[in-house]
Structure 1
Amino acid sequence: MNVVTAPTSTIGRQVVQNLLDAGEPVRVVARDPARLAPDVAGRVEVVVGTHRDPAVVAEAFTGAEAVFWLVPADPRATSVDEAYVGFSRPAAEAFQARGVRRVVGISALGRGTPVADRAGLVTGSLAMDDLIAATGVPYRALCMPSFMDNTLRQIAPIKNQGVLYGPIVPGLKAPSVATRDIGAVAARLLRDDSWTGSQEVPVYGPDDLTFDEMAAIISEALGRPVRYQQTPADAYKQNFLGFGYSGAMAQAMLDMAQAKNNGLDNGVSRTPEDSTPTSFRQWCLDVLKEAVDA
């Protein structure tokens, strides 16, 4: 049995679909089962509740061969540690108590870089990985840079202003990754019973691009001019406070962006084995253009 947490999230739903397409049995942990796609709901077991709840994870992980672990965003958390490590403690105990044989988790690039200990959400993710690895359960932490799919949050300014906004230095080359590729890697590892131990698995797309280059690619894919504009640090944090983030989590978003500007995502040497197939250009043609045209 494969257990998938956060099954209605962008990545989680793709993990579920990949496992079902492969004929694998799937159990999901869902706070709101009504959000499951109709063609999925009838093909999976459902444990209702949050995977922060000890009773919920104890039930969900009973008889589980593999678990896909994704901590949902908590913009109102009192601290990054609480958002990631605190959330994951009940699951870490249940991995051991319920005899789970392998766990695949969503994490981030950056371990070993000089800025990893002050990188906001990334620092929390790496501490979560340490917590899970310490249980002794075989663990693969999928370590990603920024998601290509985050661009979908900016459909309005792209359409109405011809501008892509972000906190990253315009000329900094860095990797990115499509969530569909993350879902494919996660499903493959969940189905593979040959690996043991704890290990980080970098997952990124085939090319490193600056945000200026990404804006140019978006322009070509959409057939309209789009430029990149860097958002000042103070304004970037204020945006999150305006969205209802706690002060700690708004600062964590800024800390992560500043760490990326200081090389957080560039600390791992690219290898063919770690690179995924979807380029940013292909993602724009397949996903962004459809969303903008809708």
Structure 2
Amino acid sequence: MIVITAPTSAIGRLLVDDLLDRGEPLRLVARDPARLEPRVRERAEIVEGSHGDAAVIDRACAGADAVFWLAPADPAAPSGEAAFVDFTRPACEAFTRHGVKRVVGISALGRGTPMAERAGLVTASLAMDDLIGASGVPYRAVVCPSFMHNLLHQVDAIKGQGLFFTMADPDLKSPTVATRDIAATAARLLLDAGWGGSGEVACLGPEDLSPTAIAQIISEVLGIEVGFRQITGAALKQRMTGFGMTGTMAQGMVDMFDAKNQGLDNAAPRTAESTTPTTFRQWCEEVLKPAVTG
């Protein structure tokens, strides 16, 4: 039995589809099971509730061989520590109590770098990995740079203004990754009973691109001029708190992008094993363009 948390998330949805297609028995932890597709509800066992709830995650882990763990970056959380570490504590107890054989989690790049100590939400995510690893359960953190998927939040700006906005340095080349490739890596690890201990597996897209280069590729794929505009940390924080994010979580996001601008996502060496297949251009053609033109 494989337990999937956050099964309606961008990664979780793809992972569920992949594992069901392979015929794997799944138990899904969902706050709102109605958000799951009917065919998924018919083929998987459902545990309703938050996977941060001790009773819910305890029920989910009973008899489980493997668990996929994704802690949501809760915008209403009082801190990154609360959103990642405190949220995960009940799960660690459940992992050990029920003898879960392996846990695969989604986390961030940067471990061992000076930037990681002051990287806001990334720092909290790495602390979550430490907590899970210290529980004694075999653990692999799938560590990622920024997701290509994040650009879907800016479809309206791309359509209406011909722009997208981030704090990123316009000329800094960094990796990005497609959620489909993260899900594929997670599936491989969940199904592989041959590893143990605690460690990381990096997922880096096949190329490092600057925001300027990203804008050029988007323009070519969409057939319209799309530019990039860098925003300040203060502007990002104001925007996030305007959407209801707590000030501490918004500052954690600002600190994360500051660390990325200092090379946080460039710290992991690119290898054949860490390089994922989906190019940014391919993702734009298959995902972004339909979202913009649809």
Q: Which bracket does the TM-score occupy, shorter chain normalised?
A: over 0.9
Q: Deviations over 1:45-97 (max 9, x none)?
A: 00111111111111100000000000012101111111100000000010000
How does 1:1-294 map onto structure 2 within 5 Å?
1-294=1-294
Mapped partners of 2:269, 2:187: distance in 1: 24
Mapped partners of 2:118, 2:33: distance in 1: 36
Task: Give the C-alpha shift of residue 236 in structure 1.
Answer: 1.0
Q: Deviations over 1:20-50 (max 9, x none)?
A: 0111100000110000012211010001111
Query: Unaligned 5+ residue runs, structure 2?
Result: none
Task: Give the C-alpha shift of residue 164 in structure 1.
Answer: 1.4
Is contact 2:27–2:44 with CA below 8 Å preserved after alignment? yes
The amino acid of 1:201's aligned partner reads V
Is contact 2:73–2:84 with CA below 8 Å preserved after alignment? no
Mapped partners of 2:102, 2:233: distance in 1: 40
The amino acid of 2:212's aligned partner reads D
The amino acid of 2:125's aligned partner reads S
Q: Deviations over 1:124-174 (max 9, x none)?
A: 100000000001111000000000000000001111111111100100000
Corresponding residue SS for 1:128: helix
Q: If the length of structure 2 is used for normalisation, what is the TM-score? A: 0.99
Runs of 4+ residues over 2 Å off in structure 1: none
Mapped partners of 2:18, 2:204: distance in 1: 19
Corresponding residue SS for 1:42: helix
Query: Unaligned 5+ residue runs, structure 1?
Result: none
Mapped partners of 2:54, 2:39: distance in 1: 29
The amino acid of 1:7's aligned partner reads P
The amino acid of 2:237's aligned partner reads K
Superposition RMSD in Å: 0.6
How many residues are aligned here?
294
Mapped partners of 2:272, 2:136: distance in 1: 29
Is contact 2:237–2:250 with CA below 8 Å preserved after alignment? yes
Mapped partners of 2:57, 2:39: distance in 1: 24
Mapped partners of 2:126, 2:144: distance in 1: 12
Corresponding residue SS for 1:106: strand
Corresponding residue SS for 2:168: coil
The amino acid of 1:207's aligned partner reads E
Task: Give the C-alpha shift of residue 112 in structure 1.
Answer: 1.1
Corresponding residue SS for 2:114: coil
Mapped partners of 1:22, 1:120: distance in 2: 37
Mapped partners of 2:128, 2:216: distance in 1: 36
Q: If the length of structure 1 is used for normalisation, what is the TM-score? A: 0.99
Mapped partners of 1:249, 1:120: distance in 2: 8
